[in-house]
A and B are shown apart, each in its own frame.
Chain A
Amino acid sequence: MQSTGISGSKIGGAEQGLELALTVSPRTVSTVRRFFEDFVAEAAEGLGADPGLSARVALTVHELLENVALYGEHHHGTLSLSATSVGPRRLTITVTNTTTPEHIERLKQAFREGADGEIDAMTRYLALMCREVRQDESGLGLARIRAEAEMSLSLSIDRDQVRVSATSKPFGQAAGASRGANQ
């Protein structure tokens, strides 16, 4: 892994975030996953989060970062973790990278499939587990994030750049909300 930039501050502080610009190989995805898991585990108590949050973030980071390692141009992308500073506390993990038109189409398809509000995330995930797929890919990563990590997902595309964000369910209250409530 060649980290080309790291910036951020303690989650729960004023800036509420962490960002890494990195070039990642399949072999080093786990290193980044462990770093984020430890980082969130350290902050979880102060955030008022349940102990499982760090595991959910770790799963999300791993699945999103493998897409960068596999499909990102030059295996390069930006990975960020941010927390809301006002109102119900949420964590958002965002991965941004450039990629091929074919992968963008696959992402769009995965998001179209996942956007059907008639089927809950776990039911869809189990259905995808049973689906026949190409040998080299499972097509399960995003569905797993929704079902197992209980994150909501969003996708934005700007020409060849894709941005996938995963946002946790709310937990606790950010400091801004507490101050507002006391005023």
Chain B
Amino acid sequence: MTEPMPAGPLPSISDPDFTAQTVMDGRSLRVGMRGTADLNTQKALEVFLANVHACAIVRGATTVVMDMRDLEFMNSSCLKRMVNWIFVARAEPTESRYQIVLVPQPKALWQKRSLQALSLMAPELVSVTS
């Protein structure tokens, strides 16, 4: 039997224009994004999302809540990283699969369509709160 991976520190990003922090809340992994995710942060975001996935699996999270209320903007390259993460999550066996909840900022009008598009990548897995 495979030994569980050590839990390790919770993933984060700290960039002058973009930060992402993670906290465990019961069986939910809560991710807060702030600032602008663009060319400057796309590689860091890719690593971050891989770590979020690993963290969710190791800690047995049933939900990952992605709070985007402080996210000013996300470019298409970073959206593509989000899609890749959703596909990785979807590929997990049913028993370890977690739900993804996207929390939008209603005043950020770009988020309405972008997050809708993300949710359509895996409707059975991804939801957007109203």
Give the shortest distance, in Å, between A143 (CB) and chain B (any CB): 8
Say yes or no: is B14 at the interface (Cβ < 8 Å to chain A).
no
Q: Taking CB as reference atom, which chain A residue is nearest B77? A: A138
Q: Which of B36, B76, B109 contacts A140 (CB 8 A)?
A: B76
Say yes or no: is B70 at the interface (Cβ < 8 Å to chain A).
no
> Which residues of B107-130 have CB atoms within 8 Å of chain A's CB atoms?
108-110, 113-114, 117, 120-121
> Could you tell me if A130 and B83 are in contact, using CB atoms closer than 8 angstroms?
yes
> Could you tell me if A30 and B76 are in contact, using CB atoms closer than 8 angstroms?
no
| Residues of the A chain whose Cβ atoms lie less than 8 Å from the Cβ of B108 | 55
Q: Which of B73, B77, B79, B117 contacts A33 (CB 8 A)?
A: B73
> Could you tell me if A26 and B121 are in contact, using CB atoms closer than 8 angstroms?
no
Say yes or no: is B40 at the interface (Cβ < 8 Å to chain A).
yes
> Could you tell me if A129 and B109 are in contact, using CB atoms closer than 8 angstroms?
no
> Could you tell me if A55 and B109 are in contact, using CB atoms closer than 8 angstroms?
yes
Q: Tell me the count of chain B residues lying within 8 A, CB to CB, of chain A.
A: 21
> Could you tell me if A66 and B73 are in contact, using CB atoms closer than 8 angstroms?
no
| Residues of chain B having any CB pair with chain A under 8 Å | 17, 36, 38-40, 72-73, 75-77, 79-80, 83, 108-110, 113-114, 117, 120-121
| Residues of the B chain whose Cβ atoms lie less than 8 Å from the Cβ of A66 | 38-39, 75, 77
> Could you tell me if A62 and B75 are in contact, using CB atoms closer than 8 angstroms?
yes
Give the shortest distance, in Å, between A133 (CB) and chain B (any CB): 7
> Could you tell me if B17 and A30 are in contact, using CB atoms closer than 8 angstroms?
yes
A interface majority secondary structure = helix
> Could you tell me if A129 and B80 are in contact, using CB atoms closer than 8 angstroms?
yes
A133-150 vs B, Cβ < 8 Å mask (1 yes, 0 no) = 100011011001001100
Give the shortest distance, in Å, between B53 (CB) and chain A (any CB): 17
11 A-B pairs besides A66-B75, A129-B80 with CB distance below 8 A are A26-B38, A26-B39, A30-B17, A30-B38, A33-B73, A51-B109, A55-B110, A63-B76, A70-B39, A126-B121, A140-B79
Closest 10 CB pairs of A and B: A138-B80, A140-B76, A26-B39, A55-B109, A148-B113, A138-B77, A141-B76, A52-B109, A144-B76, A138-B76
Say yes or no: is A125 at the interface (Cβ < 8 Å to chain B).
yes
A17-47 vs B, Cβ < 8 Å mask (1 yes, 0 no) = 0000000001101100100000000000000
Q: A27-B17, A58-B73 are in contact. Are A125 and B80 (CB under 8 A)?
A: no
| Residues of the B chain whose Cβ atoms lie less than 8 Å from the Cβ of A56 | 109-110
| Residues of the A chain whose Cβ atoms lie less than 8 Å from the Cβ of B17 | 27, 30
> Could you tell me if A148 and B114 are in contact, using CB atoms closer than 8 angstroms?
yes
| Residues of the B chain whose Cβ atoms lie less than 8 Å from the Cβ of A27 | 17, 40
- 19 cross-chain CB contacts under 8 A: A27-B17, A27-B40, A55-B110, A56-B109, A56-B110, A58-B110, A59-B73, A62-B38, A66-B39, A66-B77, A129-B121, A130-B121, A133-B80, A138-B80, A140-B77, A140-B79, A140-B80, A141-B76, A148-B114
